[in-house]
Structure formats: structure tokens, C-alpha cells
Amino acid sequence: MRRLKKKIFLGAFGGTVALLGAVRLVFPEVTGGESEAKTTTVTMANDTLVVANRNVVNLPSSNVTIETQPEGPELPELTQDPEGRVKWHPVRSVPSYTTCFPDVQDVQIVAARKWGVSPVRDRKEAEHRRKELVYVGANPLYCIDKGMTHSIPYLVPRAAHLLSMIGRNYLDSLYIKGIPLHQIIVSSVLRTEDDVARLTQRNGNASTESCHRFGTTFDICYNRYSTVSPPGQPERRAVQNDTLKWVLSEVLRDIREKDLCYIKYEVKQGCFHITVR
């Protein structure tokens, strides 16, 4: 009698499992299949990127979470060859830095005065103008230079959004090219009147009419980058600066061609001088 009950139980259990399996195959949304399908894990160049609902990119190796704007572009799709291997996008750079990024001071100052704030006297005044300025000192999409002494990390909202866009597009571009992730380094942001005065004393070439006074302008290094490395582990293999510079130049060219900003290639300062439009 007990064996009969056991056989009946096992038969009923097996039938139930088979039925649920058939339902899942025919109607995957019933068991959450649709939600799982939107979560993809991709391993690339020693980094693991988890794409959740195509909107959030987690970088566990650096404890960084990047949230894209709802209206922003989705993470680029990677193509594969017939053997299933990922086809990375090539690095092309731009034909000429000086030709592609020619926007001089006379051009940029017009946009700075149009979109910027009135010059800030000192750091104390900047703290009291939070309604006009956005603090950009902490962002997973880019790094603020630790050695920045003649400017403070504030921008007008329009410029802050542009800087985040550049940082996000740069990480996306590294991803689709199969290059280990690096963050851009911002070397100069808002300069107060006190900053300009101290800078002109040290540097005779510094302009008292700097675009940085209006919170619309920032500099991005092209010869230094911040490597994204796993915490508590040795720094990962460095990528040549020339390669990272080529990728950055592609990103900046595409953004400039959309009339979103003016860019000047600065040879002596080692940076791209950028003003929002």
C-alpha cells in the first residue's frame, strides 16, 4: 500500500514538473522569462559588464554603477563572426587634431558669455550659488584631477550634462572596441576671479578673459587617464595613451559635429579645451 502511494506521488510530481516546463516554453513571460532576457552578462578584456534592462551598467571590478539617461542611447550591440567570436570595432582616430578641433578663444568666449553665469569672486561665493552651478566633483563617468589647484568642480547644468555625455560615450566606445576601461581626467573647470588672478601671476600667457570664469568650460587631458582596476588588486595592464587619445578624439569629434560644443586642441597644456554650445 505504501509503495503504491509512493508511485502515485512520484508520478503526480513528475507530471506537474513536465506540465510547468511545457508552460514555460510556450509562455516564457509567465515565469519571468521576459525580465531575464533583458539582463545580459558580457565579459570583455578582463571586465564584466552586467547590462540590466539595457539601462544600467555595473562595473563590479571598480564598484562603479553607470546609469544612463532614459532617453539616452542603449549600450551598443556587439557583432559576432561566423565562429561566434566578438568583432570589436576598429580604432581610427581623426585625420588631424588641429583641423578637427580648431575653435579658438574668440569663438568659445561668445558661447561662454551666452550660456554661463556671471564670474564668481571666490570659492565661498561659489558655495552660495548652487542654484546656478552644479557640483561635478564626484561622477563615475569621469575623474577630476587630484592636482587641480586653480579651479573648482562646478559647471552650469548645460555644461555638466555635456561632460557626463562625453564620459559615457567614451566608456561605450572603449567597450565596443574591446579596450580595457579607462575614465577621462578633467584637469580644469570653473575658475573664480581669485583663481584667475593667481594664475596670471604664475603664467604670463593666462587670459584674464578665460572661458573658465563662466562655468561653461572644462579641460580634458589627452595624455593621462584613470585605469578602472579591481579594488585590492594590482593595477591592470596599462593601455598606451596614444590608443586612448585616438578613441577620445573620435568621441569628441562626433559630439562637436552635432553642434553641442566648441573644442580647441591645446598642444602645450596637453588637453582638449571644451565649451558648451
CATH class belonging to 97-276: alpha beta
| Predicted pLDDT of residue 40 | 32
Mean pLDDT of 35-64: 36
The more confident residue out of 93 and 170 is: 170
Across 24-52, average pLDDT: 40
Domain locations along the chain = 97-276
Residues 92-99, mean pLDDT to the nearest whole number: 93
Among residues 177, 178, 209, the alpha carbon closest in space to that of 193 is found at 209
Residue 18 has pLDDT above 70, yes or no: no
Average pLDDT of the segment spanning 21-49: 42
Q: Does residue 211 carry a pLDDT above 80? A: yes
pLDDT score, position 38: 37
Is the pLDDT at 125 greater than 80? The verdict is yes
- pLDDT tens column, 131-169: 899 999 989 999 999 888 889 999 999 999 999 999 999
Whether pLDDT at 64 is above 70: no
pTM: 0.69
Q: Are 274 and 111 in contact (CB under 8 A)?
A: no
Give the DSSP H/E element, type plus range, for residue 79. strand 79-80
Cα–Cα dist 191/6, whole Å? 81
CA distance 247 to 253: 10
The percent of residues in the chain predicted with pLDDT above 70, rounded, is 66
Compute the 3-state secondary structure of the chain and give helix, strand, coil in percent, each to the nearest 5. 40, 25, 40
- What confidence tier does 19 reach under pLDDT thresholds 50, 70, 90? low
